[in-house]
Structure formats: structure tokens, C-alpha cells
Structure 1
């Protein structure tokens, strides 16, 4: 009986040892570096979840072409991420873990504890995966900066583009609008009270607004009847006279707004000097994107990439 039991235990040990030695599934090899099936499935699920958040649930039977597209994008993205990291390391680009942690903490504070947890749940990401994506993003930006640092656009090129595309610089009349976006009516009322006591709108926007426009003191630019803003916001904004602030919070699907009207602006074509630096930045960014796109294509063309998907 003991010999039989010993034999069974020995066979079980050999079987489990064989399982332990079994190599993990590999979906691609990039310059000798493997992308595992686990990495692929995790990233694929994240993309799929993100798509469903925007467009609704995917029907596994009817949307097979869509699922194939998501699968191909997951594969292409992961291969590109490996190439970016490999090249960044060759260029001596290093991302400090403390910097990543600081970015993650800032993201958590912006989202709030509940919002952050909901974000991870909705996307199917773990915090480890999020940190990895943040690191790749930073490497991408650093590498792009190095590759495109010499790209410049001259005054002559800016002027030429302006003269050939004058219609793009037509500005309709309207009124400059600023806003502060917050989550609750109570917070909005508190801000209105502080503004009525003379506090600076721009400073309060920078401190409290949830809208990216907070970086510009809440400035949303020129608003008129054709501006593509949600109706309650646009109607409230266009009722204001220059210098006025809404005395009641304006509720929209985004939250509660405190709105301020700036100066009225007549329609016309902006002068070159008004748009020169912004236009230079736009043209340089387009040129950088083209240079870096060619750089990435060259990396992909010269890389040893083996697709091991079945």
C-alpha cells in the first residue's frame, strides 16, 4: 500500500514539475524580446473595455470584425511600446520611478479616490499596468523630443502659411467667456459668493475648476450663437454683459458652472502678429509629428518582429 501511495505521489510530482516548466505563451518577439499572452490579453481587454465605455457593449457574435480590429490594435500597440522602450534605453533615456509615482498621485488626486477606483474597474487595468503605460508615455515624449529637437519653422514659413490660409483666421463676433466647473451646486454657490466679495476669477478657476481651461484662468475663448457648447451653458453665457458673473450655478451634464463674461469682440480676420506664435507652434508640431512618424516607421522596418499569434 505504501509503495502504491509513493508511486502516485511521485507521478503527481512529475506532472506538476512538467507544468511548472511549461513555457508561457508568446504572441510576439521584438528584437529578441518576448510579448507574452498574458500581456497581450491584459492590454486587449483594456482596449475592449475602453471601446465599450464609449460605444456600448460589443456583441461577440455580430462584431467579429470589430473584435479583430481591436486585437490587431492591441498587437500593434504592444510591439510599438517595446520598440519605443528599447530605443529609449539605447538613447540613455531613463524615467525616475519617483517621478512616475508623483504623476500617479496627481492623477489619483484629480480623479478622487472613488473616481480612480471606477477608472481602473471600467478599463480593466491594474495600478501596475497604469504605471507601465505612464512610463511608456513618458519615454515616447522624451524620445520624440530628442529626435525632433532641431525642427524649427521660420518667420517666412509662418507668413506664407498665413497668407495662403487667411480664411482659417476669420473670427466671428461674440463675447469672451470664462468659467469655473465644479462637482456640486454648494461649491458653485460658495465660489459665486467669493467672487461677489471681490476675489479674482482667474485664481479661483485655477484652484477649483475641473475643466482643462483652468490653466488659462477658465478662458473658453469667443462664444456666439454658432459655438458648439451645450445649450444651458451657451444660453446662460450669452445673456451676460461684459464683466457680469452668473448669480446662479448653471447645471449641465458636466457639473455646475460659474460663468463670467469678458469683452465683446467684433468679427474679422486676425492679424498675423496676433496668431504668429500660436501658428508657429502648430506648424512645428505638425513637422515634428511627421519627422517622428518617419522615425518610428524606420524603427519598425528595421526591427526583427516575429508574429507568433495563431
Structure 2
């Protein structure tokens, strides 16, 4: 009995609003029950669920909980619909809303394309859409119209906020000067470094490094592997103690340094090669900087657009006339 009562209340409420027609008013613009139903399209939703999951469909359509869930879905769609109406009005305020003629032509072309691809008459398409649970052709046309108007309003408003997107040479140069380190390749040293706790081992090991013994031969003789064997950025203290860099940066390539003590450890260091550091010129990185600045401006434009729209929304007069009988 309780379930029947809930469905009767919901049904009577929907009938009442079908007569009154207006479910919300947004800055004086009426949002009708027809518009809301087109956006929610519960019939299509339920048809899809019925085709994919009969059990879930039965729960949705025969229980109080299912009725409440469907109602919550519709209320969420109504909220989204109001926001879309608001954004179209926001675009109108900016002077960038699409004109009705353009939107209508786009929708008409879309319908013509469907008729051609499906090889149907309008009457056949009308019946086909009803079978799919999408309403009659006119309902579908109206839905396409609103969706197209909203999407064009969104695109036009974004373009409006990007009007100052052009990046000047002065901006590129300024960014380069402030971020020159990003475009600088540090000097690199090709090093062979061994470490041991014994001074005499380090001394004989150094002589073998000078003689050109291979790493495999050194491993067999001393049971030591190099702690560094390759290129290292200058002053990289994660691999080389800072005190050693003073000697490394003063050496010429091919030099095997005298054994160096750091704490209780002894280092044998050979400087095999040196790559001089360099900084890319402004002309080499100008395009990269330009793209970076454009991306930054795009992000700023999006943020400003959202901020201005939220202010417009808060200043708007929104009246939701529909009151759900089962969702509070």
C-alpha cells in the first residue's frame, strides 16, 4: 500500500506540473516540464536498463526506493538544465551567444544528415526515434537545438576570454631571462671513481687505474666495483662528495687524481672526459616559450571564465517551482 501511495503522489504531482508547465524560472526565462523531460529522457533511460538488466529495471519501476532514485536523477538533471540556461544567458550578456538562425540551420543540417544516412523519411525517422525511447522527431529537434545553443555559447565564451591570447616578443624575452636556468645544460664529467677504506689499497688501485686495468680486472684483484662510471653533472653531490669536486673541476681530461681522503674513506678518481656546459639561445627556445606562455594564458582564461560565470550565477534570480513529493 505504501509503494502504491508513493507512485500515486508522484504521478499526481507530475500531472499537476504538466498543466502548470513551468518547473523553474531563470532570470525571467521559463523552464518548462517539456524541456526538463527532454533533458532527463527517463523513458530512454528505463528502456536501456530494461534491455540490459531486467532485475534492476524491476526494482526501479516497482519499488519506493526505485521511484526515489529516478526522482533524484531528474532533480539533478533539472539543476544541470538550469546551469545550462544560465550559461546561455551569460554568453548573451557577453554578446557572444549564437543567433537562433545559425543554431536552427545547424540542427536542420544534422537532421538532414540523419535522414540521408538512415535512408528514411521524416515520418519514418519520427517512428524510429519513438521506438528508441527518444520521443518524437520534434522533441529530438528541440533537444538538439538546446544542446547546440549551449555548446556554441560555451565555445564562443571561451574564445571571448582568449581574445588576448597573443604572445609578444617582449613576453618571450622576459620569460627567457627569468628562466634561463631551464635552458642551461650544466657541464658534465665522465668519471671513473672507486672508494675504499684502506689507504694502501687506494694507492695501488690508483696505479692500476693509471696503467689502464679494466673494471673486471680491478674487481677480481680488489673485489671493488666503481661507485661512479659515466657522466655526472658538475657539483652533483649525490654521487661525488663536494670536497672532491674542487679537484675534479681543476683537472684536465685524462687525469687520474691523487688519492683523496674524505672522512674515513679514500677515493680514486679518473677524469676521462669533460663536456662543457652551454645555454640555449633565445632563438632556439622562443617557440617552446611561446607555447608555454599560451598554455598559461589558456589556463588563466578558463579560470577567469569560471569565476565570472559563478558571479553571474550568484547574482541571478533563480526560482525552482517544482517541489518533489518524495525527495526532500
TM class by shorter chain equals 0.3 to 0.5
TM-score, normalised by the number of residues in structure 1: 0.44
